[in-house]
Amino acid sequence: MQISIVIPLLNEQESLNELHDWIVRVMQSNHFLYEIIFIDDGSTDGSWETIQELSQKNEHVKGIQFLKNYGKSQALHAGFKAAQGDVVITMDADLQDNPEEIPALYELIANEGNHIVSGWKKKRYDSVITKNIPSKLFNWAARRTSGVKLHDFNCGLKAFDGHVVKNIDVHGEMHRYIPVLAKNAGFSKITEKVVQHQARKYGTTKFGVERFINGFLDLITIWFVSKFGRQPMHLFGALGVLMFIVGLGFALYLGIDKLFLNPTGRLITERPQFFIALTAMIIGTQLFLAGFIGEIMVRSRKNDTRYSISNKINI
Ligand SMILES: Nc1nc2c(ncn2[C@@H]2O[C@H](COP(=O)(O)OP(=O)(O)O)[C@@H](O)[C@H]2O)c(=O)[nH]1
Ligand SMILES: [Mg+2]
């Protein structure tokens, strides 16, 4: 199997036939060995019925249906698990991504040894106010924080070396940061390619402006997890010990002062240093415990599956 095309979707019934036919045309004219994996994320518009029909017509079509809507990341994760191709290509189901790009993306992975090629919608056909401007800001922040130099993190059209998708865990809303997850997993050859983008033909967008807020929060999580996820004690333990030492210093000072230097002075509980000592020592202990509990959790983490599949075709 040369190419797995992974397509997560939510209520895109109107586009599916057209998308399928277009992909098949491209695959056949390039003589690729391929599979198309549709992941229906709890659609209510008959998308699954269409996927079933397509799989009856075309044996290369596979499908996964979730019982309810779990989000794009979970859908991609399920698709990645099922994919068998040497190269895995993700694309949106709404016909905004152009299947004609697939052969060039494939080349960049299979022949030039890249781990990831991320699409770059240089010319976008979306609303300027709700998409283009927030998206520029978002991408800038993502570049700065992650160190991955991509212009368009959120592009649905991406190509991956098959090993990459088997070795990353996409969950929450992390689908925007798959290249960052991959980089953290050691896949460093990440490049981008300008791709064609079309205006949405059917239906409406499923993501509003709230995606940028969630996106920034996820960015902080990713930065944090990649830095301290495996050794929370390095952050919390260090901060905790530091705080505790500060508190202990004040407590010692107060004790020595009261016992030996100035026994007739103010009551210890009337002095501000007392409260600093108290707070610092309590917070220090808390931080230390947070790090400790974090370490225990890291060590006992199981592979948890967050979605439940209700149907499969050919998988
Ligand atoms: N699996 C899954 N796919 C989704 C979800 N929301 C949107 N999608 C798909 O993600 C792709 C991009 O979504 P779209 O609404 O077009 O976003 P936009 O192009 O950025 O406006 C489309 O193929 C959608 O069907 C979801 O909750 N789950
Ligand atoms: Mg779209």
158-161: strand order across its sheet: 190-194, 116-120, 158-161, 87-90, 3-9, 34-40, 61-66, 309-313
* Mean pLDDT score across all residues of the chain: 91
| % of the chain surpassing 90 pLDDT | 68
* Reported pTM: 0.80
Report the amino acid identity of residue 203: G
Which residues are near ligand 2, the ion (C-beta closer than 5 Å)? 94, 96
Quote the pLDDT of residue 307: 62
DSSP string for 210-278: HHHHHHHHHHHHHHHHHHHTT-HHHHHHHHHHHHHHHHHHHHHHHHHIIIII-TTSS-GGGSHHHHHHH
Nearest CA to ligand 1 atom 16: 205
Q: Is the CB of 152 under 6 A from ligand 1?
A: no
**pLDDT by residue (tens digit) across 201-244?**
898 888 877 777 887 888 888 788 778 877 889 999 999 999 99
CA of 145 to the centre of ligand 2 (A): 26
Quote the pLDDT of residue 126: 80
From the alpha carbon of 93, which atom of ligand 1 is closest?
A: 23
Quote the pLDDT of residue 197: 92
Q: Is the CB of 143 under 6 A from ligand 1?
A: no
Contact (CB, 8 A) for 309 and 64: yes
If we measure between CA atoms, which residue out of 33, 54, 44, 35 comes closest to residue 9? Answer: 44
Ligand 1 site-directed mutation target among 15, 70, 94, most atoms within 8 Å of CB = 94
pLDDT tens digits for the chain (315 residues)? Answer: 999 999 999 999 999 999 999 999 999 999 999 999 999 999 999 999 999 999 999 999 999 999 999 999 999 999 999 999 999 999 999 999 999 999 999 999 999 999 999 999 998 888 777 777 888 888 998 898 888 999 999 899 999 999 999 999 888 788 988 999 899 888 999 999 999 999 988 988 888 777 778 878 888 887 887 788 778 899 999 999 999 999 999 999 999 999 999 999 899 999 999 999 999 999 999 999 999 999 888 887 655 555 667 788 888
Q: Is the CB of 72 under 6 A from ligand 1?
A: yes
Q: Is the CB of 8 under 6 A from ligand 1?
A: yes
Q: Is the CB of 39 under 6 A from ligand 1?
A: yes
